[in-house]
Amino acid sequence: MSSATSSTHPDPHSRLHLAVALDGTGWHPASWREPVARPDELFTAGYWADQVAEAERGLLDFVTIEDGLGPQSSHPLEPDDRTDQVRGRLDAVLVASRVAPLTRHIGLVPTVVATHTEPFHISKAIATLDYVSTGRAGLRVRITARPDEADHFGRRRIDRIEAYDSPDAQGLLTDLFDEAADYVEVVRGLWDSWEDDAEIRDRATGRFVDRDKLHYIDFEGRFFSVKGPSITPRPPQGQPLVSALAHDTVPYRLLARGTDVGYVTPRDAAHARAIVAEIRAEQQSAGRAGETLHVFGDLLVFLDDSQGEAEARRARLDALAGEPYTGDAPIFTGTAEQLADLLEELAGAGLTGFRLRPAVAGHDLPRISRDLVPELQRRGRFRTAYEADTLRGLLGLARPANRYAAAAATAV
């Protein structure tokens, strides 16, 4: 893959990439109690269409849509019995497919849990989303170590993690991320299992498909054995966007091995620089040093006209929740101008973009699209119009050659 954006030394003054992470009524657990939250519409297509339309109004690169295989919980590894927070989700891939025809430019990146879903099914679903959206699909792959989610499927047992730093926990997490890396490899192979010109559609000869251009991927690994080919022709982008969230060395290897965009959670610019350096080293070890791998910083944002207003709103929501919200990503509380300053500082440490998590979707998403984006545009750091027809194009990623067609050309 080639790109105007260097994978190793991004220009600190180049344009930034922006995405938003959509999760229910917002990332703060008390967000549903805000007047703008619309919790009664949360399970309607119109609600999600409005969220994505707002992000597209701000010319953002893409939205991610959260998903999981168990009810949301205030505990990362087990269910809780709280009734004062949003519980329940729509399927992220199906939401993206419903919203796709209502949008024109923005990328759609639903979350997929690799631990308990089959890569064959997901490759077909995301390829279909790429067709429905005419080249704007991606996926965010994640794992789960929750025993209750494993119990939904009954095919494997996952023991409860008592301490993340224990040898057993580290072994389990390493296996789950290795499985996710194989998952991505299978999905990518299936996307390539049809060459671009495999469909002939010749009425005169009665030939619809050139069978020689459909390929068995014959993947044999520790976690999967998948023959292929897919039943869905190669997607419009060739390879839809693959992304993942990572917090430490083991998931950084997943980013380096198989993704186009990695989301990380640096505390400050020095931490961001260290994370980027580690990911670039892992990328080189994975044999992908010449490919573009975007590293986005994740931030949860409270945006208001003044820092005092933002801090007061955060304090009010924390009081409603009964405890301060922390989460896995840094929390920004302030104005659009202050956030733009922070993004520029972090970009100088090697990040090429940002995935922002609106604390309250109905409040902070419009602040991103209508306040932050214009501020970045004034600084020359963000686009003023969409300049590509595909999600890969928006991110400066070339449409990759089909591996089987490329191999055949090399053999000639």
Q: Known binding site: residues? A: 67, 111
Q: Which of 266, 335, 303 is nearest to 26 (CA)?
A: 303
- Taking the C-alpha atoms of residue 158 and residue 181, their distance in angstroms, rounded to an integer, is 19
What is the per-residue DSSP string for 272-302? HHHHHHHHHHHHHHTT-TTS--EEEEEEEEE
E strands in 197-240: 199-202, 207-209, 219-220, 225-226
277 near 301, Cβ under 8 Å? no
51 near 36, Cβ under 8 Å? no
CA 135 to chain centre: 16
Residues 6+ apart with CB under 8 A from 59: 105, 373, 382, 383, 384, 385, 386
107 near 136, Cβ under 8 Å? yes
Q: Residues annotated as binding site for FMN?
A: 67, 111
Other C-beta atoms within 10 Å of 255: how many? 28
| H or E element in which residue 362 lies | helix 361-367
Other C-beta atoms within 10 Å of 211: how many? 8
Angstrom distances, CA of residue 35 to CA of 28, 89, 363? 14, 21, 10
Cα torsion 75, 79, 81, 85: sign: positive
